[in-house]
Amino acid sequence: MKAKTKALVFNIALPLITGAVSAYISREGMMGFKNLAQPPLSPPAVLFPIVWTILYILMGIAAYLVQVSGDRNSDSALTLYYVQLGFNFLWSVFFFKFGLYYFALLWLVILWVLIAMTMKAFSKISKMSAYLLAPYIIWVSFAAYLNLGTAILN
């Protein structure tokens, strides 16, 4: 396998695996989530894994574009990306596994800021990589609404 192909596979696999492990750790809480009061506009549960899979793939492609760019700032931009990916991983654990709804909301706000910072860093290297993260920050914004609504209603 060529180096660029390996880099693409790695960069797509990393967020997918991160999301899968986070979901696995949080699975019991996710199953019980359907019994909680939901805020208006809550999508059906079946939509979440579909959306997250698409977002993780887009994130991986964005990271790949930065990694193979040859830009001298790619390492620092990718470090920021990995930090936000870690925050992404832990949000589900705080929210679903531990039911820490208000803490998870604060964590999500920090995640949103980290995504915005990552988009800015990526845009200096590859505009397309920043555009690929746009659906992610939009979804996280919507997730913040859902998180707040769940916290208030439960």
What CA–CA distance (Å, rounded) separates 131 from 137? 10
Q: Which of 80, 101, 115 is nearest to 33 (CA)?
A: 101
pLDDT at residue number 133: 98
pLDDT at residue number 112: 98
User: What's the alpha-carbon Rg for the chain, to the nearest Å?
Assistant: 16
- 88 has pLDDT over 90: yes
With bands split at pLDDT 50, 70 and 90, how would you rate the model's confidence at 33?
Answer: confident
Q: Where are the domains of the chain?
A: 3-153
DSSP letter, residue 86: H
Both tokens assigned to 44: 């059906």
pLDDT at residue number 31: 86
Mean pLDDT of 131-149: 98
What CA–CA distance (Å, rounded) separates 23 from 51? 14
- Under a CB-based contact definition with an 8 Å cutoff, are residues 74 and 67 in contact? yes
- Under a CB-based contact definition with an 8 Å cutoff, are residues 92 and 23 in contact? yes
Q: What percent of the chain has pLDDT over 90?
A: 93
Phi, psi of 121 (to 5 degrees): -65, -45
Mean pLDDT rounded to a whole number for the chain? 96
- 1 has pLDDT over 80: no
Assign domain 3-153 to a CATH class. Answer: mainly alpha
- Under a CB-based contact definition with an 8 Å cutoff, are residues 39 and 89 in contact? no
